[in-house]
Structure 1
Amino acid sequence: MTVALMWEARASEGRGEDLLAWARAQELPREPLRRETFRAPQDRVLVLTWWDAPFDAELPELPEPDRELIARAVHRWRFESVAVG
């Protein structure tokens, strides 16, 4: 089964590039099948990782950045792949 983890944060005012650099520099204790990093308006950063694992498996995730770097707590979601198209 493929599980995708989503990690999304919004940077503090004017810190979008810093948050993006921070997220890209984070190493996980093991490598996912795939990892992508995105940015969006309002200085938001999204990191998606794909894993070959059961839905409820313990998987490494990016941590919370330092509070001065983010405008709110990180949002995290977990999804199970149901189709590849």
Structure 2
Amino acid sequence: MTVALMWEAKAAAGRGEELLSWARARQLDGPPQRRETYAAPGDRVLVITWWAAGLSDELPELPDPPEELTARPVHRWRFEQV
């Protein structure tokens, strides 16, 4: 089974590039099958990782960035391939 973990954060005003750089620099405990990083209007950053795992398995996830970089709490979702 393949599981996709999605991590999305909205940057504090004027901190979009810093948040993007922070997310790109974070290493995970174990490499995913695939990892992609996206930016969107409104200084939002999305990181998707894919894992050969079950939906409820414990997997490495990106941590919360420093509070001063974000405008709100990080959103996280898990999806399984169907």
Place the TM-score, normalised by the shorter chain, in its bin.
over 0.9
Shift of 1:25: 0.1
Percent identity of paired positions between Structure 1 and Structure 2: 68
TM-score (normalised: structure 1) = 0.96
Shift of 1:43: 0.1
The aligned amino acid for 1:11 is A
TM-score (normalised: structure 2) = 0.99
Q: Please, what is the CA RMSD of the aligned residues?
A: 0.3
**2: distance between equivalents of 1:36 and 1:62?**
13
Unpaired runs of 5+ residues, structure 1, are none
Unpaired runs of 5+ residues, structure 2, are none
What secondary structure sits across from 2:32 in the alignment? coil
How many residue pairs align between the two structures?
A: 82
Where do 1:1-85 residues align within 5 Å?
Answer: 1-82=1-82
Shift of 1:50: 0.1
What secondary structure sits across from 2:8 in the alignment? strand
Which 4+ residue blocks in structure 1 deviate beyond 3 angstroms?
none
